[in-house]
Amino acid sequence: MTEIERAIRKLQRKHTVSRVAYRYLSGRPLDGRQGYPYRHRGPGRLAGWQRQAVRLGVPAAAVMAAAYPGQAGGVLGTAVAVTGWRVRRRFTMRRFNREYVTPTLAALAPAMGLQTGVHLHVDPSLGTLTPRLAKPLSPAEVAMRTWYGEKVEPVIRWLPERAQRAAWSIQRKAEPVTSKLAVFRRPVDGDQGPRIELTADTPYLTKEQRQLVSSIIGSKIPVADLVESWHQVGPRVRATWTVRKRPPARVGVDQVAEHLPRLAEWEFFIGMGAGDRPVTLSLRDDSPHLAVSAGTGAGKSVLAELIAVQVLARGGRVVILDRKGSHRWALGLAGVDYCTKPAQMHDALVRLAVLADERNSLALHAPEDWDPGARVLVICEELNATIGQLVNFWAEARGKGDPKRSPAVSALADLLFMGRSAKVNVLAIAQMLTARAIGGPEARENFGIRCLARYTANNWKMLVPEAAMPRTSRTLGRWQIVIGGQATETQVAYLTAAEARELACPRSSGTSEVSGLSSPSGDFLTLRQAAEAGVIPWKLDAAKKRLQRGVGEVPAPRGKDGNADLYARQDLARWAETGERISQ
């Protein structure tokens, strides 16, 4: 017997009646070929279960139509509608694959060194991929779609909608029972949104290959702002690109008031991240100091205000070094020392360094849980310009035998190195926080929390080179909070001046360990002290004239400091607000 005869006999045995019947009923190919899985579709063909459903369903429908002629019309109409929907969907997907998937695969295979074994799935609902393929409708098509939406679709959807509502009602009724079964459910990936999935039949791709694949995906499939992840464990390489989740568009005082009571004394709520997750900072665990770098109008002062309000609400102190007056909300608040002139800033930093050194000396002989006192937050606005002003001030004020370097700049550097145990924290604000602006590269390394918004590539690489730079956002109040090389996109909470003053509500009595920083720490000031501290926006002579003329709600004297009258901070702040409105 020849080899050809053996092959013919083997083929004849292969196609017996029983085997063909088994293949027909089980959904396998009738010719006996292998490689077509039951659960998943083969290349260009139906899956096994789909073939099985067609082979068994069509004869069953024919028998039912013959047995019940009256129902044949409904069955036939349903079959035609389902078939039409599937055909339309198939043609749509064929066009979608022809425009996106097939060209991308043709570019990917050579890039990965593979001619076969590369599989790509692109979700049609991703971005605007499908709308890009849409063709303009003719007037007849518009009229037909309008008629269908008004006349036909409500009838077709009536029964499914009622069934869905009934299912929801049953779920609500059974929720007390089904909720107890949650302990037996396995956790699933919460991010099941539209995505791009790539599978390659190779165990490893180099970094250069992965970068080339990412570049091809980004060029051939026009969807912006995707999050890329690679999995190279196992015999195949898998990559996914998912839509980046975004924080809410706005966060306000309600969220701040909700989260503030839950936080420890060293924790601060700053906003909401992706998935409405609260973002908090820890001045004990993450870092004792914060660096804020952003362009003009990005909300640097809003972020500083948010943290300062929480410090005041817990009975702490806030020292503001601000030449341009960005924190008018803090004018007149007990617990706030507002420095607007270089001399005041100089004295404030020197005294704070002394305070921090005293606290550190006491902590040396105290138990580990010893509390040095109220927290002090130092807000340094526009540090690039502030350091220059302090240097120029010291160049003019320096006497014979004084050090050449500004004691204020040295004090700021000392605070950065010893602020954790002393509970003296620095919040440095600058458009570009260079090493020169902060007093040296070693001083800048003490900022473990770095906040950036409206950043450039140069600014990002200078401050956080260890973190991948995400795309900058135009949304006002949208920040990147970088801790330990991990960037978290955050929508920072916005507070109005009235909301900030109401939330501050310091529990302290007004007595400060840093008294004399910029003004007396009590609640009563002379007119000169109020002008120097920035409690009133006018110079001393202008304030005296307004006081004599009775412009605004003129404060009444509350006491005497020598020959000068003493006024309450709140009265002075109210006078400043009403006087400004009258001037405008």
184-204 pLDDT, tens digit each: 877 665 556 688 999 988 889
Q: Which residue has the higher pLDDT, 13 or 177?
A: 177
Alpha helices, H only, 289-424:
300-313, 342-364, 383-397, 407-422
Residues 333 and 456 in one domain: yes
pLDDT bracket for residue 567 (50, 70, 90): confident
497-504 and 300-313 are packed helices; what angle lies between their axes, rounded to 10 degrees?
20
* For the ranges 32-36, 70-74, 174-178, 575-579, the one whose mean pLDDT is highest: 174-178
Q: Which residue has the higher pLDDT, 351 or 85?
A: 351
The CA dihedral of 213, 219, 225, 227, to the nearest 10 degrees, is -10
- The Cα-based distances of 293 to 312, 388, 450, 477 in angstroms read 23, 18, 8, 13
Residue 31: inside a domain = no
Place of tokens 């702040």: 573
Residue 38: inside a domain = no
Nearest to 468 by CA among 147, 211, 262: 211
Q: What is the pLDDT of residue 509?
A: 37
Residues 448 and 577 in one domain: no
Q: Which residue has the higher pLDDT, 515 or 570?
A: 570
The yes-or-no verdict on residue 306 having pLDDT over 90 is yes
The yes-or-no verdict on residue 316 having pLDDT over 50 is yes
Nearest to 86 by CA among 39, 53, 43: 53
Residue 142 to residue 511: CA distance in whole angstroms: 74
The yes-or-no verdict on residue 16 having pLDDT over 80 is no
DSSP code at position 98? I
pLDDT above 90 covers a percentage of the chain that reads 9
Nearest to 451 by CA among 277, 290, 297, 327: 290
Is 301 in a helix, a strand, or coil? helix
Residue pair 355/362 in contact by the 8 Å Cβ criterion: no
Place of tokens 């006999």: 9
Quote the Cα angle for 217-221-222, to 5°: 120
Residue pair 310/269 in contact by the 8 Å Cβ criterion: yes
Residues 390 and 494 in one domain: yes
Prediction pTM value: 0.59
The yes-or-no verdict on residue 118 having pLDDT over 80 is yes
Tens-digit pLDDT profile for residues 198-226: 998 888 988 888 889 988 988 888 887 77
Residue 456: inside a domain = yes
* Of 98-107, 227-236, 242-251, 431-440, the least confident: 431-440
Residue pair 226/255 in contact by the 8 Å Cβ criterion: no
Counting the structural domains of the chain, the total is: 3
Which two three-digit tokens encode residue 296? Answer: 């003009």
The yes-or-no verdict on residue 552 having pLDDT over 60 is yes
Q: Which residue has the higher pLDDT, 582 or 342?
A: 342
Residues 325 and 397 in one domain: yes
DSSP code at position 8? H
Quote the Cα angle for 64-69-70, to 5°: 115
Mean of the per-residue pLDDT values of the chain: 80
Backbone angles phi, psi at 258, to 5 degrees: -70, -40
Residues 427 and 559 in one domain: no
Paired residues of 317 in beta bridges: 376
Q: What is the pLDDT of residue 487?
A: 86
Q: What is the pLDDT of residue 113?
A: 76
Q: What is the pLDDT of residue 269?
A: 93
Q: What is the pLDDT of residue 238?
A: 92
HEC profile of 55-94 = HHHHHHHHHHHHHCHHHHHHHHHHHHHHHHHHHHHHHHHH
Residue 174: inside a domain = no
Residues 385 and 319 in one domain: yes
With 0-12 CB in 10 A as exposed, 13-18 as middle and 19+ as buried, what is 408?
Answer: buried
Q: Which amino acid is at 290?
A: L
Which two three-digit tokens encode residue 556? Answer: 């009444």
Q: Which amino acid is at 506?
A: P
Which two three-digit tokens encode residue 506? Answer: 């310091």
- Structural domain span for residue 406: 253-510
Residues 279 and 381 in one domain: yes
Residue 294 to residue 429: CA distance in whole angstroms: 8
Residue 23: inside a domain = no
Residues 285 and 219 in one domain: no
Residue 96 to residue 132: CA distance in whole angstroms: 10
Residue 62 to residue 295: CA distance in whole angstroms: 72
Is 279 in a helix, a strand, or coil? strand
Place of tokens 């002062």: 301
Residues 429 and 537 in one domain: no
Q: Pick from 222, 244, 266: which residue ends a domain?
A: 244
- Estimate the share of the chain in helix, then strand, then coil, as percent rounded to the nearest 5: 50, 15, 35
Paired residues of 481 in beta bridges: 451, 488
Residue pair 514/352 in contact by the 8 Å Cβ criterion: yes
Residue 503: CATH number of its domain: 3.40.50.300
Residues 270 and 304 in one domain: yes
467-471: average pLDDT = 80
